[in-house]
Each structure stands twice: as structure tokens, then as C-alpha cells.
């Protein structure tokens, strides 16, 4: 005797109920050297599908998905292929994200089923950014020109070398640091140490010192801060305390700012490997066009959907 088929249709599962009763946001989690992002397909609108308040919850590593930020792939602006917007894990919106734009390039290729090398024009808060997927899957990004005028960083520190802030003194919690300020569309304070002391970056207590730089009165829009050790004229090691995200494993715009600062302070050549806790980035501040180029990886980690 066969097993009786169920007499009534199965009751809707909890998943069916979630899908029908609330908005479900599909996402892909990506990371670039451990700097990780929730990637959202927002190609149908220039209005982010997630609010800054929702981004804070989604980025929480215990109560949410967990990430350093949320990145939106949006329709192009002024003739670009796409627009990128990003919310930091504290809900603030920065102008640009270097590791994020590498993830952005791979995410687009997935969405559009592109294969092989591919170059995109992306409108961002830092202007036109051009990521290109290489044959080996690494992404090379034209990050544009560094911005050095104090008022454009922005910083209240006065220019002291060729219209830039180079190896200037900044007192943080009673300690005098030497800093160089560079914007890659977003503000960066770069330090190689204090007046007399060379930095051992692995010994820094970032959680203590990072916020004191981030919220320093000399940075009206707050700042990202890079702490750098020079191994050679083409090999730098850095740790970073990011504006709006805290200590991260890597910062792409920060690595670009570090090479610019290292050249301005005379520590390095224009082409360097920048070693971050999450891995290395190849950075070049090209003399011919004054653009900074960054090359590094980006990988999908997992796929999911979340009720909003
Ligand atoms: N926290 C940064 C944005 C992300 C930058 C970083 N993750 C990168 O890879 O460039 C800011 O508020 O300027």
C-alpha cells in the first residue's frame, strides 16, 4: 500500500512568509585584502536601496551580515558606465573606496556575465575612476590625481611645501607627530612617526590612537589615518584607522595616499609595494599623468539575502 499523499498543500514556510511580508535584499559579500563589503545591485535606481541607518545594522559583525561598508552599483552618470556609492559601517558616506571599487568591478562582471579582461568607467564622489580586470583576475584601478591643497583635503593644517602639507607637526593627545595630508577624493593623514622616533606599526594600539586622529580638530570632515614603516624605497608597510570604519585590514585609497606622502617626504620611489595586514597592493604615482594606479585582488565570499 503506497504512502498517502498529503491531503492539503504544504503551509507556507517561514521563508515564504518573509519573502511575502517584507522586502528582501539580495546581496553578495566581497572582500579586497580583507576590507569587506556588502555589494548591492542598484542598477535600476540612483536611490540607494539601503539607508545609512540600515547600513549600520547590516555591517554589524554580531547582529548583522558584518562588513566595513555597503556598496551600491548604480546607473552611470554623465556618460560613465556606472556610478558607485558607498556607506561606511558607521553610516557615513565617503567619496571613494579603493578596495571597494575593485570588488565593484568583479561584481559588475558577475551581474553582466562578462568574462575575461574588462574596463569600466565609474562615476564616484572622487570623480571618474577606471577599474580594469586583468587577465589574472587582479584589478588595476586608475585612482585619478592626488589632491594636496589643504582646503581640498580638507585640513586646517597650513601648507608648508609646494602648496601641500608635508611632514607637518600635529599634536595628538600631547604627542607631536609628523604628518603629510593627501586626498584621493577622501581625506588621508599619513604619518611615518614622531619627531625623533621611527614607527614600529605592529606595536601601535590603533583602537586608542586611531579615533584621536580621526576626530582631530585639524580635520573638519574627519580623516582616515595611515601609520607607515619604510622597509625600502619600494616597500612600505602600513596599518590604517579608517574614518567611519575603524581599524580595517586594508585601505586602497589609504595605500595610494601613503605612496604619494612617501614620495613627497623623500622616503620612496613612485612605484611601491604597500604591505597591509590583509595583504599587498601595487601602487604607482605615475609622473607622466600625475595619476595614481592601484593593482590588487577582489573576491566574492558568499551570496545571501536579508529582510529589510
Ligand atoms: N573609510 C573611508 C572609505 C573607505 C576607504 C577604504 N576602505 C578604501 O579601500 O579606500 C572614508 O571614510 O574615507
Q: What is the dihedral of CA 90, 187, 77, 129, to 10 degrees?
A: -110
Q: Is it true that the peptide bond before 66 is cis, omega within 30 degrees of 0? A: no
| Residue 189 annotated in active site | no
Together in a domain, 175 and 75: no
Comparing CA positions, the residue from 301, 298, 236 lying closest to residue 33 is 298
| Residue 97 annotated in active site | yes
Residue 68 falls inside a structural domain: yes
Together in a domain, 113 and 173: no
Together in a domain, 130 and 215: no
Residue 7 falls inside a structural domain: no
Cα→Cα distances 106→73, 172, 226, 297, 300, Å: 11, 39, 26, 10, 8
Together in a domain, 168 and 123: no
User: Residue 241 in contact with residue 213, Cβ under 8 Å?
Assistant: yes
Together in a domain, 176 and 272: yes
Residue 19 falls inside a structural domain: yes
User: Residue 265 in contact with residue 166, Cβ under 8 Å?
Assistant: yes
Together in a domain, 208 and 114: no
Together in a domain, 178 and 234: yes
Which residue's CA is minimally distant from atom 7 of ligand 1? 251
Q: What CA–CA distance (Å, rounded) separates 64 from 92?
A: 17
Residue 6 falls inside a structural domain: no
For residue 20, the model assigns a pLDDT of: 67
Query: Which of 59, 103, 251, 256 is an active site residue?
Result: 251
CATH of the domain at 28: 3.10.310.10
For residue 26, the model assigns a pLDDT of: 94
Residue 13 DSSP symbol: P
Task: Kindly give the distance from the C-alpha atom of residue 288 to the centroid of ligand 1, in angstroms, as a whole number.
Answer: 26
Ligand 1 site: residues with CB under 6 angstroms? 35, 88, 94, 97-100, 186, 224, 242-245, 248, 251-254
For residue 41, the model assigns a pLDDT of: 97
Q: Which one of 185, 243, 298 would you pick to mutate in the ligand 1 pocket, going by the greatest count of ligand atoms within 8 A of its CB? A: 243
What's the ipTM?
0.97
Residue 133: give the domain boundaries. 15-144+298-307
**Which residue's C-alpha cell is 522586502?**
23
Residue 83 falls inside a structural domain: yes
Residue 215 falls inside a structural domain: yes
Task: Kindly give the distance from the C-alpha atom of residue 304 to the centroid of ligand 1, in angstroms, as a whole number.
Answer: 24
Together in a domain, 156 and 282: yes
Contacts of 295 (CB under 8 A, 6+ apart): 134, 138, 139, 140, 141, 281, 282, 283
**Which residues on neighbouring strands pair with residue 307, listed in sequence order?**
24
Q: Which one of 146, 253, 258 would you pick to mutate in the ligand 1 pocket, going by the greatest count of ligand atoms within 8 A of its CB? A: 253
Together in a domain, 23 and 41: yes
> What's the structural domain count of the chain?
2
Residue 2 falls inside a structural domain: no
**Which residue's C-alpha cell is 593623514?**
189
Q: What CA–CA distance (Å, rounded) separates 270 from 264?
A: 10
For every one of its 308 residues, what pLDDT tens digit does the chain have, with 9 covering 90 and above? 566 665 666 777 766 676 666 689 999 999 999 999 999 999 999 999 999 999 999 999 999 999 999 999 999 999 999 999 999 999 999 999 999 999 999 999 999 999 888 999 999 999 999 999 999 999 999 999 999 999 999 999 999 999 999 999 999 999 999 999 999 999 999 999 997 788 999 999 999 999 999 999 999 999 999 999 999 999 999 999 999 999 999 999 999 999 999 999 999 999 999 999 999 999 999 999 999 999 999 999 999 999 88
Together in a domain, 101 and 176: no
Q: Which atom of ligand 1 is nearest to the CA of 188?
A: 13
Together in a domain, 258 and 162: yes
Task: Kindly give the distance from the C-alpha atom of residue 98 to the centroid of ligand 1, in angstroms, as a whole number.
Answer: 7
Together in a domain, 229 and 265: yes
Give alpha helix (H) positions in the chain. 14-21, 52-59, 98-111, 206-214, 252-264
Task: Kindly give the distance from the C-alpha atom of residue 104 to the centroid of ligand 1, in angstroms, as a whole number.
Answer: 14
Residue 277 falls inside a structural domain: yes
Amino acid at each position: 500500500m503506497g504512502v498517502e499523499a498529503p491531503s492539503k498543500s504544504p503551509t507556507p514556510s517561514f521563508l515564504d512568509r518573509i519573502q511575502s511580508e517584507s522586502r528582501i535584499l539580495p546581496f553578495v559579500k566581497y572582500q579586497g585584502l580583507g576590507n569587506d563589503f556588502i555589494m548591492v545591485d542598484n542598477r535600476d535606481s540612483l536611490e540607494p536601496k539601503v539607508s545609512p541607518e540600515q547600513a549600520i545594522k547590516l555591517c554589524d559583525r554580531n547582529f548583522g551580515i558584518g562588513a566595513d561598508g555597503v556598496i551600491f552599483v548604480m546607473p552611470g552618470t554623465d556618460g560613465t558606465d556606472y556610478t558607485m556609492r558607498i556607506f561606511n559601517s558607521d553610516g557615513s558616506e565617503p567619496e571613494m573606496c579603493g578596495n571597494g571599487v575593485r570588488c565593484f568591478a568583479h561584481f559588475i562582471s558577475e551581474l553582466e556575465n562578462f568574462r575575461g579582461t574588462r574596463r569600466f568607467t565609474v562615476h564616484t564622489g572622487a570623480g571618474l575612476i577606471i577599474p580594469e580586470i586583468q587577465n589574472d583576475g587582479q584589478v588595476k584601478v586608475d585612482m585619478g590625481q592626488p589632491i594636496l591643497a589643504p582646503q581640498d583635503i580638507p585640513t586646517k593644517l597650513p601648507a608648508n611645501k609646494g602648496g601641500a602639507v608635508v611632514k607637518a607637526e600635529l599634536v595628538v593627545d600631547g604627542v607631536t607627530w609628523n604628518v603629510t595630508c593627501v586626498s584621493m577624493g577622501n581625506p588621508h593623514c599619513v604619518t611615518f612617526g614622531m619627531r625623533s622616533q621611527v614607527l614600529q606599526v605592529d606595536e601601535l594600539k590603533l583602537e586608542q590612537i586611531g579615533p584621536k586622529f580621526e576626530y582631530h580638530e585639524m580635520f573638519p570632515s574627519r580623516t582616515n589615518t595611515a601609520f607607515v614603516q619604510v622597509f625600502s624605497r619600494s616597500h612600505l608597510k602600513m596599518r590604517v584607522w579608517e574614518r567611519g570604519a575603524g581599524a580595517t585590514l586594508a585601505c586602497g585609497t589609504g595605500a595610494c595616499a601613503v605612496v604619494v606622502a612617501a614620495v613627497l617626504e623623500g622616503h620612496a620611489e613612485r612605484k611601491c609595494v604597500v604591505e597591509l595586514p590583509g595583504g599587498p597592493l601595487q601602487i604607482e604615482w605615475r609622473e607622466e599623468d600625475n595619476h595614481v594606479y592601484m593593482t590588487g585582488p577582489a573576491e566574492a565570499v558568499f551570496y545571501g539575502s536579508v529582510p529589510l
